[in-house]
Amino acid sequence: MLLDQNRTPLFDAVKYHVKRNAVPLQIPGHKHGNGLEEYRDFVGENVLRMDLNQTRGIDFLWDPPAVIAEAERLLADAFGAEHAFFLINGTTSGVQAMIMSACKPGEQVIIPRNAHKSIFNGLILSGARPVYVLPEVSDRLGIVLGVTEDSLAAAIKENPGTKAVLVINPSYYGIASNLKGIVEAARQNNIPVLADEAHGTHMHFHGCFPVSAMKAGADMSAVSLHKTGGSLTQSSALLIGAGKVDPGYVRQVLNLTYTSSPSYILLCSLDVARKQLATRGAQILERVLEITRWVREEINKIDGLFAPDKGFFEETGSFGFDETKLLINVQELGLTGYEVEEMLARDYNILIELADMYNILAIISIGERKEYLEALVSALQDISRTAARRGTKKIEAFQFNPKVVMPPRDAFYTPKRSVPLEHCAGEVAGEMVMVYPPGIPVVCMGEIITEEIVEYVKMLKREKCTLQGTADPKADNILILS
């Protein structure tokens, strides 16, 4: 039976509840904003009236019998999934639930080394043991790409008994592996495939993007509707495909970390964003692709800049590419990506998504306006004209695969001590060290810290990158296992 994707059952129920204006003798304590007047005056009364407690008429998130259940069915239908769950703790909670659902303590899961910190936290929560697959690299851009089918197949062969394969679709930079091929390789060994699609929500709704996890036949997928699908920050979804995964068990796992006080403001934004994607997604994304291709062409006219297109990644490694990730290589300017990011923010009031040593990344999404991108082009033209061209730096794609001496969960519970960064080489990390964004750890707890890692972290500090994961905010000291 075809579902009516024009419906928004949860949003309609909440709007009715707001209009009803019932006497609020329950939490939240601000009581329609009366107890938070300054905030209400800025954001508006409707937002505060939508801030409801789980109650009759608007359903219960952890075991919904009514409007949330219907809204989740519509969500699953929109993405071609068998089941779907609303998430209001970001895709992080979905990624962790996938790992915890697929792996018991001590069981192995194959993951790419360039995984997000949420995956490593999922290893701690589940007790699973990681088997890392190194992605390919691009010397032209100085970034890692994706994992290949061959490397994935080799990891499966070398690690019999593996309980799951986790893939990133696409990476923060928009690069996607051959997901159909990976799913087939895993399926031949009866291994479920889990997909971190934090940056790929939109890909399901237009044919010009890399294939989505559900279309590729993956078993589970965590999608950040708030990143590229239009919902509010922190709202995401967990999708279940047909086959190996028991949705009832996944619900139990989610309930371990679900809040008992979910935000209906976030939940309603998911309901409306799903409707928009399902009914008008292709049309909206066609417009997004038009302005994306325009801006990439304009940037490639600027001296010293290179914005790779889909063809570049297909030629360099047969990888797919999400065109809405506007990756711009700035190496020929003699500037680092970090310096260009700072200049854009300081001098032009333009905020980009992330920077690394050689690139900046802007996200183009369904809410894009061409004037935003015109401002970016104008700013980059100015920067190119005034760049000192200090000489081209050699690009090296930093990729570490430290020796794992202890599973992340065991390392998490092992006593630790703080040691100056310069004295950490040869020690076992007791915490993650990462740049955020993108949130990919340089080293994880339970891994040997090498001299190369120490020097790389020092370089990141010199470039004033935002380092996270360390108890010491400045990362002058690192926790190691005692």
State whether 293 and 382 are in the same domain: yes
State whether 304 and 380 are in the same domain: yes
Residue 48 CA, chain-centre distance (Å), reads 29
C-alpha to C-alpha distance for 314 and 335, rounded to whole angstroms: 27
Residue with tokens 């219960």: 60
| Tokens describing residue 168 | 């990133």
CB 366 within 8 A of CB 401: no
Judged against a pLDDT cut of 90, whether residue 391 lies above it is answered with: no
Which of 192, 145, 190, 147 is CA-nearest to residue 165? 192
In this prediction, residue 395 has a pLDDT band, given cuts at 50, 70 and 90, of low
State whether 442 and 349 are in the same domain: no
State whether 359 and 298 are in the same domain: yes
pLDDT in tens, 179-217: 999 999 999 999 999 999 999 999 999 999 999 999 999
Determine the structural domain holding residue 446 and report its residue range: 408-481
State whether 372 and 429 are in the same domain: no
Judged against a pLDDT cut of 80, whether residue 317 lies above it is answered with: no
C-alpha to C-alpha distance for 213 and 403, rounded to whole angstroms: 30
In this prediction, residue 428 has a pLDDT band, given cuts at 50, 70 and 90, of very high
Judged against a pLDDT cut of 70, whether residue 397 lies above it is answered with: no
CATH number at residue 346: 3.90.1150.150
State whether 378 and 412 are in the same domain: no
Q: Residues with Cβ < 8 Å from 354, sequence gap 6 or more?
A: 172, 341, 360, 361, 437, 438
> Does any domain span residue 245?
no
Judged against a pLDDT cut of 90, whether residue 431 lies above it is answered with: yes
In this prediction, residue 239 has a pLDDT band, given cuts at 50, 70 and 90, of very high
In this prediction, residue 156 has a pLDDT band, given cuts at 50, 70 and 90, of very high
State whether 381 and 442 are in the same domain: no
pLDDT in tens, 110-152: 999 888 889 999 999 999 999 999 888 888 898 888 999 999 9
Instruction: Report helix, strand or coil for 57.
Output: coil
pLDDT computed for residue 430 by the predictor: 96
Helices and strands in the chain: count of H runs, count of E runs? 17, 19
CATH number at residue 440: 3.90.100.10
State whether 297 and 376 are in the same domain: yes
> Does any domain span residue 349?
yes
Alpha helices, DSSP H, located in 161-263: 179-187, 213-216, 225-228, 247-257
State whether 327 and 373 are in the same domain: yes
Last residue of a domain, one of 353, 386, 419: 386
> Does any domain span residue 332?
yes
**DSSP track, 204-215:** GG-TTSPPPHHH
pLDDT in tens, 31-55: 999 999 999 999 999 999 999 988 8
State whether 334 and 364 are in the same domain: yes
Q: What's the mean per-residue pLDDT of the chain?
A: 93
| Tokens describing residue 422 | 């310069």
Q: Return the number of other C-beta atoms located less than 10 Å from residue 51's C-beta.
A: 17
> Does any domain span residue 338?
yes
C-alpha to C-alpha distance for 81 and 7, rounded to whole angstroms: 18
> Does any domain span residue 47?
no
> Does any domain span residue 9?
no
Q: Say what the alpha-carbon torsion angle 32, 37, 38, 43 is, to the nearest 10 degrees.
A: 30
pLDDT computed for residue 1 by the predictor: 58
How many residues are recorded in the chain? 482
> Does any domain span residue 335?
yes
Task: Give the bridge partners for 447, in sequence order.
Answer: 404
Judged against a pLDDT cut of 90, whether residue 293 lies above it is answered with: yes
Structural domains in the chain (count): 2
C-alpha to C-alpha distance for 62 and 113, rounded to whole angstroms: 33
pTM of the model: 0.94
- Provide the residue type at 163 as one letter: K
CB 324 within 8 A of CB 373: no
> Does any domain span residue 59?
no
State whether 379 and 427 are in the same domain: no
State whether 296 and 368 are in the same domain: yes
Judged against a pLDDT cut of 80, whether residue 303 lies above it is answered with: yes
Q: Residues with Cβ < 8 Å from 416, sequence gap 6 or more?
A: 430, 431, 479, 480, 481, 482
